Amino acid sequence: DKIKPDLRRQEVAYDTGHAAGTVVVDTPARRLYYVLGNGRAMRYGIGVGRQGYSLAGSATIGRKAEWPTWTPTPNMIRRDPKKNLKYAGGVPGGLNNPLGARAIYLYQNGNDTMFRIHGTNQPWSIGEAMSSGCVRMLNQDVIDLYARVQPGGRVHVIQGRRQA
């Protein structure tokens, strides 16, 4: 009940040229769509990267993990060593892990982008632009999406104003 109704998971009408099974991340709208086909999609509220910290364009799902470990990237440690250096050895999966219950790893040209679609231990961040670039979802939503997607699946990230 603390999540705004428009950020809650729901099936919606969604007119798109993307094939069923595609994930569309609409960064400005703070919504993620899993295309079902026939003009329908499952819509989720998301948290996104703060200005200048986000993936753009297309990617593929390189792998998936349940209760993943988290290690800050070298850039995250450089930007904020006071906050992130203590986690350089990694944080085991679990309720206190920033990646939450599931992580979907995004790849481009066969390489890990270091961007993820993942759960969160900060549910109040859904609808906000405050991450280091990853797409945050409520844990129950990322569990739902995780069950729907497969490695090799397509992800398209919309940045800026949506084109007509």
CATH superfamily to which 5-158 belongs = L,D-transpeptidase catalytic domain-like (2.40.440.10)
Residue 163 has pLDDT above 60, yes or no: no
What pLDDT, on a 0 to 100 scale, did the predictor assign at position 34? Answer: 98
**Does the predicted model carry a pTM greater than 0.75?**
yes
What pLDDT, on a 0 to 100 scale, did the predictor assign at position 162? Answer: 46
What pLDDT, on a 0 to 100 scale, did the predictor assign at position 57? Answer: 87
The reply to whether 118 belongs to the active site is yes
- pLDDT tens per residue across span 16-30: 999 999 999 999 999
- pLDDT tens per residue across span 41-88: 999 999 997 766 677 789 999 999 999 998 888 888 898 889 888 888
Helix (H) or strand (E) holding 148: helix 139-148
Between 89 and 105, name the one with better pLDDT. 105
What pLDDT, on a 0 to 100 scale, did the predictor assign at position 17? Answer: 94
Catalytic site residue from 134, 137, 138, 149: 134
Catalytic site residue from 64, 102, 116, 118: 118
What pLDDT, on a 0 to 100 scale, did the predictor assign at position 160? Answer: 65
| % residues pLDDT > 90 (the chain) | 60
For range 136-152, the mean pLDDT:
97
The reply to whether 154 belongs to the active site is no
Q: How many Å apart are CA 80 and CA 97, to the nearest integer?
A: 18
CB 70 within 8 A of CB 84: no
What pLDDT, on a 0 to 100 scale, did the predictor assign at position 52? Answer: 62
Q: How many Å apart are CA 127 and CA 35, to the nearest integer?
A: 20
Tell me the pLDDT band of 91, cut-offs 50, 70 and 90. confident
Choice among 6-15, 129-138, 151-160 with the minimum mean pLDDT: 129-138
Sole residue written with tokens 């109040």 = 124
Q: How many Å apart are CA 40 and CA 22, to the nearest integer?
A: 12
